[in-house]
Amino acid sequence: MHLKNDLILRTIKGEKTERTPVWLMRQAGRILPEYRAVRNSLSGFKELVETPELAAEVTIQPVDILGVDAAIIFSDILVIPEAMGLPYEMIEKKGPRFPSTVKTAADLKKLKIAEADDISYTIEAIKITRKELQGRVPLIGFAGAPWTIFAYMVEGSGSKTFSKARAMLYTDPKMAHQLLQMITDSTINYLKGQIAAGADLVQIFDSWAGILPPAHYEEFSLKYISQICDAIPEVPKTVFAKDAYFARKSLGQINCNTIGLDWCMDIKESRQLIGENKTLQGNLDPCVLYADEQAITEAVKAMLDQFGPQRHIANLGHGVYPDTDPGKVKFFVDTVKEYSAAMH
Ligand SMILES: Cc1c2[nH]c(c1CCC(=O)O)Cc1[nH]c(c(CCC(=O)O)c1C)Cc1[nH]c(c(CCC(=O)O)c1C)Cc1[nH]c(c(C)c1CCC(=O)O)C2
C-alpha cells in the first residue's frame, strides 16, 4: 500500500527529510482516556490484546489524537511465551505473572516452537489496522528480545534483580541456550507473520538488557537478536536494548537498521560507538513530560541539536509513563515537528 507519510522509512535509509519523524514507545494504551474507555468495556488487558478489531482501534488512537508518524500494533511481548505453552496473566496495577515457570529440563520439554498462527489475534489485528490506516503512517510490528522473554519465563514475573533468570545462565547454561533458541525460532516465525500481514518495520524490545554483565549480554542476548535480524531481510529492524550502554559498539555491528537509545546514553558518544550507518532512535527522559511546556521545548531542542537532522527518529528513552498528561505528549510531538522542520 502506498504510504502518505513515509518519513520514518526514509529516515531509516539515511535520506534527507523535511523534518524528524516522531513516535513514542508504549503510545498505544497507558496514557489515553480513549484507551481506558475501550479497555474498561472488557474483562481486562488480555481480552483487548485478543480482540483484533479493538486492538486495531487502540493502535490507531495515538495517530489520530497525538499526530505521531507511526502506529505500533497493540499487543504484548508476552504473547510469545503463551504461544510456546507458558500462559501469562496480567494483574491489574501490578503487571504480568506466569502461573508456571521454566525451572527444569522437564519444563522445557513441555514447550514448543510457536508459529505465527498460534498468535493469530495479533496477526489479524495487523491486517485490520493496516486497512483502517489507509497508508496514513507506517505500522510497527514488535517482539521482545529472546533474553527479555527468557527473563519472564524463568522468573515468572517482573523483578528488580531477575536473579532466578540470571542464575540459570551460571547453573545450567546449556538449558538456557536451548530455551533461548526456542524463543528465537518462535520470534522469527511470529515477526515473519507480522510482516506478511502488513507490518512495515519491526522493533525488538530488550527491556532487561542492562542487568547482564557484558560478556553474558553478548552470549545470551545479542547472539539471538542477531539471528533474528539476519532471518528478517524483508523490512527495517530497530533494536532497543535498555541500559545496555556497554553493548552499543556491538549493537552497531549487527544486521539491524536502527538502534534505540535510552535517556542515560550520551547521544554523541552513542553515535561514535555505533557509527554512521545506523539510524538512532530516542531518547528524551520520559520524566521531561511532567515539566512545563518551556522545559519540554528546551529539552526537545537540546535533543534534536545533538542528534542532528538526519538518521534520527525522535522518541522517548523508554515507554511513556502511564500517568503522563496526554496534552504534554501532544506538545512533545508538535515541538519535535516544528523545531526539526526549522532545523532541516
Ligand atoms: C517489558 C514489556 C512488556 N510489554 C512490553 C515490554 C517492552 C517494552 C518496555 O520495556 O516497556 C511491550 C509492549 N506492551 C504493550 C505494547 C503495545 C504497543 C505500544 O504502545 O508500544 C508494547 C510494545 C501494551 C501493554 N502492556 C501492558 C499494558 C498495560 C495494561 C493495561 O492496564 O491496560 C499495555 C498497554 C502490560 C504490561 N506488559 C509488560 C509489563 C511489564 C506490563 C505491566 C506494566 C505496564 O507496562 O503497564 C511486559
Contact 244, 210 (CB under 8 A): yes
Contact 246, 264 (CB under 8 A): no
- Is 210 annotated in a binding site? The answer is no
- Quote the DSSP letter at residue 103: -
Q: By alpha-carbon position, which residue is closest to atom 44 of ligand 1? A: 95
DSSP alpha helices (H): ranges in the chain? 7-12, 33-40, 45-49, 52-66, 79-84, 105-109, 120-133, 146-155, 163-171, 173-197, 214-216, 223-231, 248-251, 267-274, 293-307, 326-343
Q: What is the pLDDT of residue 77?
A: 98
- Residue 344, classed as helix, strand or coil, is coil
Going from the N-terminus, what domains does the chain have, and what CATH number goes with each?
Answer: 7-343 (3.20.20.210)
**Catalytic entry in 88, 152, 190, 217:** 152
Q: What is the pLDDT of residue 29?
A: 87
Phi (first) and psi of residue 193, to 5 degrees: -65, -40
Q: By alpha-carbon position, which residue is closest to atom 29 of ligand 1? A: 30
Q: What is the pLDDT of residue 1?
A: 66
Q: What is the pLDDT of residue 93?
A: 87
**Catalytic entry in 6, 69, 76, 185:** 76
Distance of CA 22 from the midpoint of ligand 1 (Å): 19
Q: How does pLDDT run across 26-47, given as a tens digit for each residue?
A: 999 889 999 999 999 999 999 9
Distance of CA 76 from the midpoint of ligand 1 (Å): 6
Is there a catalytic annotation at residue 88? no
For ligand 1, whether the C-beta of 9 sits within 6 Å is no
Is there a catalytic annotation at residue 136? no
- Residue 285, classed as helix, strand or coil, is coil
Is there a catalytic annotation at residue 172? no
Is there a catalytic annotation at residue 30? yes
For ligand 1, whether the C-beta of 39 sits within 6 Å is yes
Which one of 76, 150, 162 would you pick to mutate in the ligand 1 pocket, going by the greatest count of ligand atoms within 8 A of its CB?
76
Q: What is the pLDDT of residue 67?
A: 98
88's grid cell: 501469562
Distance of CA 99 from the midpoint of ligand 1 (Å): 19
Distance of CA 305 from the midpoint of ligand 1 (Å): 30
Complex-level ipTM beyond the 0.90 threshold: yes
Q: What is the pLDDT of residue 132?
A: 98
Q: What's the residue count for the chain?
A: 344
For ligand 1, whether the C-beta of 78 sits within 6 Å is yes
Q: What is the pLDDT of residue 75?
A: 98
Q: By alpha-carbon position, which residue is closest to atom 13 of ligand 1? A: 76
| Positions in the chain short of pLDDT 70 | 1
